[in-house]
Structure 1
Amino acid sequence: MSNTEVAPQEILCETEDDGAGVEILVPRQVPLGGPRAMDVKRTLPQRQRSLIGAWCFLDHYGPDRVGGSGGMQVPRHPHTGLQTVSWLFSGEIEHRDSAGFHAAVRPGEVNLMTAGRGISHSEFSTPETDVLHGAQLWVALPDRARHMEPTFEHYRPEPLTGPGWTLRVFLGSLAGATSPVTTHTPLLGAEILLEAGAALDLATDPSFEHGLLVDTGTLVVDGHPVGQDHLAYLPAGRTSVGLAAGDEPLRVLLIGGEPLGEKIVMWWNFVGRSHEEIVGYRAQWQAEIGAEDVPAAAGAGSADRRFGTFPAGEPAPLPAPPLPNARLRPRD
């Protein structure tokens, strides 16, 4: 998914170790753009917390009636230095990218795209989709992996079940289940369903910090209620986490990972390490999509194109928003 904010801020993301207990992060509404914009609820990054492990971005959307909003209509756009993780609760999204991968993602499946040195992709809800509901997350690649060649993986985890609960592990390992999807830092991603009034205790890696995003219902963790669409942050050092549902069925996404230990700079759809890198990525994207408007240049020099090429006939790519008038500086 693209970050379609018209004036995105550069954000310096770094590990924050404040030793606090449960911290509740409140979402903010962000429109995806267009005359019938579908809104998303963004809980990462925020001023008080920009990373959970290497997770650096979390958008939660729906349930959204596609007939009224137009659904997800995100034309080709670029990414660098990150992995995108798509997880759906309902609906279907078609993914296409410049590395040649073309796949749909459906409920209970994960699409993971590794941008590496640079990729461009599009995401459109399919005509058969009536209600679109899910989450889009980004993972920052560590310095050793951020210049790798782009790639893509698709996986459907088998559910684990127990008294009043169902668990699907789409990244990392939890409760005896392990995902084969490639990550470049220790990570965890799972969907957890609890019946009304049910509880579940999970053993966790004490080197991980964790986040719990509530999709439906009310979560109680360590005695703290966490409302719908909110994200509960749990610092590293825990060997277990206890979850309890209120009077309604509960669905949460559990994310986690070892603190990244690196400072990253995010602006629009780029993850880099400096002002100069971000400016360079933007300039190259603009140059590449500008060259596609010239018939003789289309496809020429594709080996030198950081963001690759798309088949003819696709919707026009998204141009990058203007850079701020001043030098991009870290946000505390």
Structure 2
Amino acid sequence: MKYLWRLLPLGFILLLAGCGKQNLSALDPQGPVADIQFDLIKLSLYIMIFVIVVVFAIYLFVIIKYRERPGDTHIPKQVHGNKALEVVWTVIPIILLLFLAIPNVMQTFTLADVDVNEEEDDFVRVVVTAHQFWWEFEYPDYDVVAGQDMYIPTNTKIIIELEASDVIHSFWVPALAGKQDNVPGITNDMWLIAPQEGIYQGKCTELCGEGHWLMDFKVIAVDPDTFDTWASSMARTVDEEEEVNVVSAEGREVFEQNCISCHAISGEGGDLGPNLTNFGERSVIAGFLDWDENDENLENFIRYPTEKKPGNLMQPFPNLADDEMDALIDYLKSLKVLE
């Protein structure tokens, strides 16, 4: 019993490993990229299991065959080396490493090939820029910029160009593809395909500051027609948007007075913060806060953003009047492009 306390740190680590409300597992692959990487994981696992089984079998054989027996006092013959055994235990690991290395190298080239035949292949290009602590998704061919949620069409090759505006971040959507770094001044490329509609959880996997643990995003895969509708709606100008959406004029005024220098809506506004054109469609606030019945989470984030998401650069608005806050929230919730 006196040694049981030594197991407490291990138990604590296992509890932490189970924390979190989001599924960030690479063991349920979706699409060709994730399938390739999952196959490599399984190959590595099979090789490691083989090595463990062989080593333990030899270990058990030795301790049983050469165990000390009662009354046996003779000294075993001393052997200083066996050339055949040394060759075997050198060659076998080399062979196992080749079994592991060759498929990994071949698939690395496959995954690094982002070239497409524009005449034959249907593809969408997305420039993903990481900021402290939010994500920006630009679609150059559609003249669209989105924040936090990355919309993609299903069964379409998505060419992703990874960039960073400040420090090193890392883009990871485990169900669709492995992680790739966003490095300031460098553009890294990757590709993925989502075979079916759904929401795929993504996360930054590079420690990028005190708000790193809340730097989440979602990849939302929709059918190609819905994606085209979304893209054309996101590209509307403010005047066009006002023609199709009935919004709070007071809320719009509050937004223009306090928010528009940092946040854009339908092509109008700043780019220091996430684009809010489709804010009302997001399933979470600021990438991690749940919507609640009285909109208290949204109000508290607007008033005290650094208390909710440490290290972010959003200006706090603690003195915004209650009626102005209510109007602003109503306006933000009305911002939708897909009904």
Scaled by the length of structure 2, what TM-score is found?
0.22
More strand by share: 1
Higher relative contact order (CA 8 A, sep 6+): 1
Of structures 1 and 2, the larger Rg is shown by 2
